[in-house]
Copies of this chain bind each other. A is one copy, B any other.
Amino acid sequence: MVRELTVALGERSYPIYIGEGLLQEAASYFDKHGVSKKSPLMIVTDSHIGPLYLEALENVLRASGFQVVSAVVPAGEGSKSLAVFEQLVTKALEGGLDRKSTIVALGGGVIGDLAGYVAASYMRGVRFVQIPTTILAHDSSVGGKVAVNHPLAKNIIGAFHQPAFVLYDLNTLQSLPPRDVRSGLSEAIKHGLIWDEAFVAWCDDNMEKLLALDPDALGYALFKGCGVKAAVVSVDETENGLRAILNLGHTIGHALEAVAGYGELTHGEAISIGMIGSAIVGVKLGAPQEVYKVTRRVLGKSGLPVRLPEHFDTDAVMRAMMHDKKFTEGSIVYVVPTAIGKVEVRSDVPASLVRETVELLKQEADWQ
């Protein structure tokens, strides 16, 4: 069964296909979307994914007459750099890629962001196809944000460049390390919490299947997660308004990432703790208790952290948050849940309430 949804962006609209074994059928999707056989295409992947799936993809594409160049970069966030970007441009030039060529990202969010920025920039923009191999990439494959990092700031050099289509092969997710599974689910749950109560209830009921990488459950969750992101992005392609709600859990989450030692928390883990924090803030500002309970239960079932390790210094976390948001006036711009599946962006959340919440996040039991 192949699920399909459309990211509606006018003439930049594109479909996302989600199903089992799509890698084996890649050539027909490439054909359907008019990927050129006269100009070489370049697959970008990383050193973990390459050995698992690159040859298979190269083979099916070559067998159908596509000219394939491949580039394997080291796995990890470190490859989202201008240096690796330049190496990929060199590779594209040496491989003879021209303005009709396509860049294909085979990998997680790192590869999608990196290869996407190459596609946005090479000859001022060529076509781009995403073949995501992580659950988290359901997030990064919708919205067209592509970027590399600068030593002083993440994702600071980039563009908006929408893919021609996204091909999600659920089979490739079977090899994902458990920690990456949970990290990816964190953003999927977030998509439920901001937009879709029924999907949160479904996650609550189906978490075991998700953690066991049951293809049908995974396919449904990715379909729902992409759907929420697509709905938000369609309204706000270039991040001027509604997209802010996608930051649920990210104000505290980013601060935790900044304060934590490298590798202590994944992004998904940090925002899991952040979403618990948001639920606490929400209830303190008048949302029903249910908001906290359900958020806590679903994230807890997933095995994501729901407590802040005690060694995190509350002052350091608050400083990181204030820096991040250019906080000056004693209040913080914050995405606050008002119900499960509903949030509002508020600019009047007192810093003192957030500080109190960070403290509560360190306590073992439910805070109430």
Residues of A within 8 A of B (CB): 82, 85-86, 89-90, 93-94, 98, 120-125, 145, 147, 150, 152-153, 156-160, 238-239, 326
Within the assembled complex, what's the spacing in Å between the Cα atoms of A152 and B125?
A: 18
Question: Quick one: closest B residue to A151, CB to CB?
Answer: B90
Q: Tell me whether B160 and A145 are in contact (CB under 8 A).
A: no
Shortest A174–chain B CB gap in Å is 33
| Residues of B with C-beta under 8 A to A156 | 89, 93, 122-123
| Residues of B with C-beta under 8 A to A152 | 90, 93-94
Number of copies: 2
Within the assembled complex, what's the spacing in Å between the Cα atoms of A238 and B12?
A: 14
| Residues of B with C-beta under 8 A to A122 | 156-157
Within the assembled complex, what's the spacing in Å between the Cα atoms of A86 and B239?
A: 24
Q: 19 other contacts beyond A89-B157, A124-B145, A125-B160, with CB at 8 A cut-off?
A: A82-B82, A82-B85, A82-B86, A86-B150, A89-B150, A89-B156, A90-B150, A90-B152, A93-B153, A93-B156, A121-B157, A121-B159, A122-B156, A123-B156, A124-B158, A124-B160, A124-B238, A124-B239, A125-B238
Question: Quick one: closest B residue to A156, CB to CB?
Answer: B123
Q: Tell me whether A124 and B147 are in contact (CB under 8 A).
A: yes
Looking at chain A's contact residues, the main secondary structure is: mixed
Within the assembled complex, what's the spacing in Å between the Cα atoms of A239 and B124?
A: 10
Question: Quick one: closest B residue to A124, CB to CB?
Answer: B158
| Residues of B with C-beta under 8 A to A120 | 159
Within the assembled complex, what's the spacing in Å between the Cα atoms of A174 and B145?
A: 43
16 contacts between A and B (CB under 8 A): A82-B82, A82-B85, A89-B156, A90-B150, A93-B156, A98-B326, A120-B159, A121-B158, A121-B159, A123-B156, A123-B158, A124-B147, A124-B160, A124-B239, A125-B159, A159-B159
**Interface-centre pick from A85, A123, A160 (highest chain B CB count, 10 A):** A123
| Residues of B with C-beta under 8 A to A239 | 124
| Residues of B with C-beta under 8 A to A153 | 93
| Residues of B with C-beta under 8 A to A85 | 82
Question: Quick one: closest B residue to A240, CB to CB?
Answer: B99
Q: Tell me whether B150 and A93 are in contact (CB under 8 A).
A: yes
| Residues of B with C-beta under 8 A to A121 | 121, 157-159
Within the assembled complex, what's the spacing in Å between the Cα atoms of A120 and B86?
A: 17
